[in-house]
Chain A
Amino acid sequence: MTVSNTSDSEAMPVADTAIVGLSPSRLALARFRRDKVAVIAFFVVCFFVFIAIFAPVLTSVFNLSPYALDRQALNDYGNPIGYFGGISWNHPLGVEPGTGRDILGRLMYGARVSLLIGFIGTIVTTGVGLVLGMVSGLRRGLLDSVITRVADLTLAFPSLLLIIALNRPLTQRLESIGVPKGNFARMTYIILVLTVFGWVYMARLIRGQVLSLREREFVEAARSFGASNTHIVFKELLPNLWAQVIVFATLSLPGYVAVEASLSFLGIGLMAPAASWGTMLGDSVRYYRADPTYLLIPGVTLMILVMAFNLMGDGLRDAVDPKSDRQQL
C-alpha cells in the first residue's frame, strides 16, 4: 500500500520546516523555483508575452510583415511555392495560401490577440468573481441568495451555444452603443461573455473560502474589536485568499486563450485582416490537405502556449498549496 506516510500528519510539517522563517510568498517562490517544469513553462510564457508586446518591432526588424502580400511566394494556383507551405529564408514558417502573407509575422501579431483576450478575460472574470464571491460570503442574507441563484441560472445555460448564438446580435448591440466597430467590439464581446459565464466558478470558490474564513479566530477577533467590513476584507480576508485567486486565474487563463481560438475557428472571433491564431486555424482548415503545414503551425503554437500556462499554473498551485498532490510523497 502506497497510501502510507503521506497521511501521517507529521510528514508535511517536517518538510515545511526546511525553509522555515520565510514569508509565505517567499516560501511559495522558493518552491516554485525548484519545480523545473513550471520554471520552463514560465519562461515559455514570458517568451510569448515578449513576442506579443514587441510584435511590431520584431516583424519590422526581420521584415515579416503580417499584412504584406507576396505574390512571388505563390504559384499560379495561389498555393505556396516550395515545401512545407513555402518555408524559406524570407518566410521562416511559410506563407498563407492565396495571399503570400508571412505566417511567422501573423503568428506574432496573433499572439497579441490571444494573450490580450486571455489576460483581460482572466482579470475581468477573476475580479467580478472575487467581488461577487466576497459579497455573497460576507453579506449572506438576501444578497447572497440572489447571487447564488443567478449563479445556478448561469450554469444551467449551455454557454458555448449561447456565446455563438448571441455573437452577432450582441456585437451589433455593442457597436450601436458606441463601442468602436469591428474587432474592438468583437473582442469586447468575447471578454464580456467569458465573464458572464466564467465568474461563477471563481465566485463559488471565494464564497466558500470566505464562509470558512469568517468563522476563523482571527476574523472573529477582528470583528470583536469592531473592525469594519472594509478592514476585514482587505486586512483579514484578501491576504488569505490571494494565493488561491492567483492560482485560479493562472489556470483559467489558458482556457480563455483556447476559447478565443475555438470561437475564431467557428467564425465568431476576430475578423481579418487582424491576425489571430484562431482565424488562422479557421482559414487553414480548407487547406488541410493541400497545405497541412499551414494548419500545424498555428495549432502547435497554440498548444504550446496553452500547455505552458497550464504547467505554470500547476506549478504555482503546488507552490502556494503544498498539500496538493504533487508535493505529497
Chain B
Amino acid sequence: MTNTTPLLSVRDLHVSFKTNDGIVKAVDGVSFDVANGQTMGIVGESGSGKSVMVSAIMRLNFGTDVIVSGQILLNGIDLLALPESEMRQVRGRDIAMIFQDPLSALNPFYTVGYQVAEAYLVHHPKTSKAQVEAIVLNALDKVGIPDARKRMKSYPHEFSGGMRQRIVIAMALINQPKLLIADEPTTALDVTVQAQILELIDSLREENNSAVMLITHDLGVVAETIQQVMVMYAGRTAEYATVQDLFDTPSHPYTQGLLRAVRSFDQSTRGSLVSISGTPPSLINLPEACAFRPRCSQEMGPQSACATQRPELRTIGASQSACHLSADEVSRVQREAFSK
C-alpha cells in the first residue's frame, strides 16, 4: 500500500456470472488501491479474472446474468452505486480504457478522425467543429500518427496494428482521464511495437499525471513501467507487492511459477519453455480451499489448511500474499526456487 490518498479504491469486489453449468465467480473478493500518477500492474494467466475486473470498474459488464458486489471508489465515489447516466459521464472522461486488440477495437465504418472526435464530443458536446478538429489533430500528433491531418480521414483498416493502437490511445487520453486502464495493450502487437506503445502510455501518463492500470499476463513486459503489482489467480488476489519486491522475493508459489516461466523464456533457447503444470481451475463452485493447491509446487496434505480453508491475504516478507505457507517456509521455497 502507498501513503497517498488513493485515486481508485476497490474493496471486496465480487463479479459472478450465471451460466448453464452454475455460477462462475470470475472475481472473488479483490481489494486494492491505485494512487494518482501511479502505474499499477495486474498480472495473471488467462481466466484469472483480470479483464473481468477492469470491465467491472468501467461497469462494462452489467448484463442480466452478472452479479457484482463490493465497492469501487473513485475519489471516494462508489461507481457501483452510480446511476447509469452518471456512470456514463465517468466513462471516457474520468476513466478511459485501451483494449487488447486494436484491430477490432475500432469501428470499421467510421473514419478514425470521426471516432476520436466522438470520444471528445461525448463529454464536450458544445464544442465547435473547428475546435474539435484541432483537438483531434493534436491528440493524433501526440500519439505519433504521421501526417495526421490527412490520415484522420482514413478508415481503421487502412492502418497497421501499432498505428491503430496509437489511435485507441489518442482516443482514451483525449479527455485527460484520471485513470487509464490498459487491458493487455500490447498482446496483439509485434514485439518491436510493444515497447513503443508501452513507452507512449508511460510518457502520456506522466504528462497528464494520470494513474494507469496495466493488465497483462506477461510479467516481463511490465517490469520497467510499473510500481505496484497485483497477481491474480482464479479470481482472487494471490500476491500484492511492489515490482521490486515481487521480482526479488516472490512469496506466493504461483508468482514464483510465473517468474520462473519468464526467466526461462528469457534465457533458454526456443522450445524449453517452462510453465506451471496443470490448467487454471474451473471457477464454478470453487471449494473453500486454496484454488492453487492442485498446481502448487509444495506438497500439501489433504488435512492441511490449504485443502480446507481459503487463504487470506496477509503480509509475508515485503509483500502481501494469499498463501497458507508460513514466512519461513516461503523463504525456504524462495531460496530453492532461485538457487537452481
Residues of A within 8 A of B (CB): 1-6, 8-11, 13-15, 17-20, 34, 327, 329
Is B63 a contact of A10 with CB atoms below 8 Å?
no
Give every chain B residue within 8 A of A327 (Cβ-Cβ): 20
Q: Which residue of chain A lies nearest to B24 when distances are taken between CB atoms in the complex?
A: A14
Is B47 a contact of A4 with CB atoms below 8 Å?
no
Could you jot down 11 A-B contacts, CB within 8 Å? A5-B63, A8-B52, A8-B55, A9-B46, A9-B51, A11-B17, A17-B282, A18-B282, A20-B282, A34-B20, A329-B63
Asked whether any CB of chain A lies closer than 8 Å to the CB of B26, the reply is yes
A1 lies within 8 A of B46 (CB): no
How far does the alpha carbon of A6 sit from the alpha carbon of B52 in the complex, in Å? 10
A12 to B66, CA, bound (A): 14
Q: B41 contacts the other chain (Cβ, under 8 Å)?
A: no
Q: Which 10 residue pairs of A and B lie closest in terms of their CB atoms, listed nearest first?
A: A5-B61, A4-B61, A4-B63, A2-B63, A17-B282, A18-B21, A18-B282, A329-B65, A14-B283, A13-B47
- How far does the Cβ of B82 sit from chain A's closest Cβ, in whole Å? 14
On chain B, the residues within 8 Å of A2 by CB distance are 63-64
Residue interface bits B6-49, CB-to-A below 8 A is 1, else 0: 00000000000111111010100000000000000000001111
Asked if B64 and A15 sit within 8 Å, CB to CB, the answer is: no
A327 to B281, CA, bound (A): 20
Cβ B51 vs Cβ A15 within 8 A: no
Q: How far is the CA of A14 from the CA of B26 in the complex (A)?
A: 8
Whether B51 contacts A6 by the Cβ 8 Å rule is no
Q: Select one of A9, A10, A19, A329 contacting B66, CB under 8 A.
A: A329
B residues in contact with A19, CB < 8 Å: 21
Q: Check B282 against A10 for contact (C-beta < 8 Å).
A: no
The answer to whether B60 and A1 have CB atoms under 8 Å apart is yes
Residue of A nearest to B283 (CB): A14
B20 near A10: Cβ-Cβ < 8 Å = no
Contact B281 A329 (CB under 8 A): no
A-B contact count (CB 8 A): 76
Residue of A nearest to B54 (CB): A8
- Contact between B66 and A4 (Cβ–Cβ < 8 Å)? yes
Are A5 and B20 touching (Cβ within 8 A)?
A: no
B17, A329: Cβ atoms closer than 8 Å: yes
Q: Is B320 an interface residue (CB 8 A)?
A: no
Query: When A4-B55, A5-B52, A10-B26 are in contact, do A15 and B63 touch as well, CB less than 8 Å?
Result: no
* Interfacial chain B residues near A329, Cβ < 8 Å: 17-19, 63, 65-66
Give the CA-CA distance A11 to B63 in the complex, in Å: 13
Chain A residues near B20: list those with CB within 8 A.
15, 34, 327
State how many angstroms separate the Cβ of A322 from the closest Cβ of chain B.
10
In which size bucket is the chain B interface? 20 to 34
B52–A10 CB distance below 8 A:
yes
Q: How far does the alpha carbon of A327 sit from the alpha carbon of B17 in the complex, in Å? A: 13
Contacts of B19 in A (CB 8 A): 15, 329
List the B residue with the shortest CB-CB distance to A9.
Answer: B51
Set of chain A residues within 8 Å of B49, measured between Cβ atoms? 10
Is B62 on the interface with A (CB-CB < 8 A)? yes
Known A-B contacts A5-B17, A327-B20; the reply to A14 vs B282 at CB < 8 A is: yes
| Assembly CA distance A196 to B284 (angstroms) | 49
- Asked if B280 CB lies within 8 Å of chain A CBs, one says yes
A17-B55 Cα distance, complex, nearest whole Å: 21
Chain A residue nearest to B62 (CB atoms) is A4
**A17 partner, pick from B50, B62, B280, beta carbons under 8 A:** B280
Q: Which residues of A sit under 8 angstroms from B22, Cβ to Cβ?
A: 18
Q: Please judge, given known A-B contacts A2-B64, A10-B51, whether A20 and B17 are in contact too, CB under 8 Å.
A: no
The residue on A at minimum CB distance from B25 is A14
A261 to B52, CA, bound (A): 51
Name the residue among A13, A34, A327 with the largest chain B CB count within 10 angstroms: A13
- Report the separation of the CA atoms of residues A13 and B282 in the bound assembly, to the nearest whole angstrom: 9
B61, B66, B280, B284 interface centre (most CB from chain A within 10 Å): B61
Residues on B with beta carbons closer than 8 Å to the beta carbon of A3: 60, 63
Docked-complex contact B47 and A18, CB < 8 angstroms: no
Q: How far is the CB of B277 from chain A (nearest CB, A)?
A: 14
**Are A14 and B47 touching (Cβ within 8 A)?**
yes
Residues on A with beta carbons closer than 8 Å to the beta carbon of B24: 11, 14-15
Residues of A within 8 A of B51 (CB): 8-10
In the bound complex, residues from chain A placing their C-beta under 8 Å from that of B66 are 4-5, 329
Query: How far apart are the CA atoms of A17 and B284 in the complex, in Å?
Result: 9
B279 at the interface (CB under 8 A from A): yes
Q: Specify the chain B residue showing the minimal Cβ separation from A20.
A: B279
Knowing A4-B66, A17-B279, A329-B63 are in contact, say whether A10-B17 is a contact too (CB < 8 A): no
Q: Please give, as numbers and ranges, the residues of chain A lying within 8 Å of B50 by CB-CB distance.
A: 10
Which A-chain residue is minimally distant from B100 (CB atoms)?
A9
Given contacts A4-B66, A17-B47, A17-B280, 6 further A-B contacts (CB under 8 A): A1-B60, A4-B60, A9-B100, A10-B52, A18-B282, A18-B284
B80 to chain A, nearest CB (A): 15
Whole-angstrom distance from the CB of B171 to the nearest CB of chain A?
A: 18
Bound together, the chains give a CA A257 to CA B338 distance in angstroms of 68
Binary contact readout B51-86 vs A (1 if CB under 8 angstroms, 0 otherwise): 110010000111111100000000000000000000
Q: How far does the alpha carbon of A30 sit from the alpha carbon of B49 in the complex, in Å? A: 26
- Cα–Cα, bound, A274→B60 (Å): 61
B61 touches A10 (CB 8 A): no
Give the complex CA separation of A254 and B47 in angstroms. 39
A3 to B60, CA, bound (A): 8
Report the Cα distance A10→B52, complex, angstroms.
Answer: 7
